[in-house]
C-alpha cells in the first residue's frame, strides 16, 4: 500500500518546507453567524485557490486564506495576491508571491518560483 500512495501522491506533498494545502474561508453572513456558517474551499495550490476565487467573483476582502502546514494553520495576507482590490492572475500572481517570499521569508509564501520550476507543478489545482 505504501508504494501505491507514493506513486499517487504528488512528490511535493512530501516536501515539509512548503504548505500541504490551502484553504479559503468565506463568511456569507458577514459576521452575524457563527463558525458553522462559514464556507470552506480547499486547493493543493495557492494559485489554484486564487483562480477559483477570482472566477467566482469572491473579493479578497471577503475571504480568509489559510496555509495548512505541518498540522498548523497559518493565515495568509492576501495583499501580495491582489492589485486594486482584485486578485492577480498567473503568472503575475506567482511572481508576486515569489517576491513576497524573498522579502519576508514567511513559509506560507514559499515555493512559488518565476526563475525555475514551481514547487507545485505536480499538484492538482482543482477545488474541493
Would you give per-residue pLDDT tens digits along the chain (128 residues)? Answer: 444 444 455 555 556 667 778 999 998 877 676 677 889 999 988 888 999 999 999 999 999 999 988 788 999 999 999 999 999 998 888 889 888 888 998 878 776 665 555 555 656 666 76
Other beta carbons less than 10 A from residue 29's beta carbon: 9
Q: Which of 49, 44, 45 is nearest to 60 (CA)?
A: 49
Q: Bridge partners of 72?
A: 69
Can you tell me which residue has the cell 498548523?
72
pTM: 0.76
Ramachandran angles phi, psi of 82, nearest 5°: -140, 160
Amino acid at each position: 500500500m505504501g508504494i501505491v500512495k507514493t506513486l499517487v501522491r504528488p512528490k511535493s506533498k512530501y516536501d515539509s518546507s512548503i504548505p500541504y494545502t490551502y484553504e479559503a474561508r468565506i463568511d456569507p453572513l458577514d459576521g452575524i453567524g457563527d463558525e458553522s456558517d462559514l464556507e470552506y474551499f480547499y486547493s493543493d495550490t495557492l494559485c489554484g485557490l486564487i483562480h477559483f476565487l477570482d472566477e467566482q467573483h469572491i473579493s479578497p476582502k471577503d475571504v480568509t486564506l489559510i496555509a495548512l502546514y505541518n498540522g498548523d494553520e497559518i493565515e495568509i495576507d492576501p495583499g501580495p495576491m491582489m492589485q486594486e482590490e482584485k486578485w492577480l492572475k498567473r503568472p503575475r500572481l506567482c511572481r508576486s508571491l515569489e517576491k513576497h517570499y524573498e522579502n519576508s521569508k514567511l513559509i506560507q509564501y514559499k515555493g512559488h518560483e518565476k526563475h525555475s520550476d514551481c514547487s507545485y507543478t505536480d499538484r492538482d489545482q482543482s477545488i474541493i
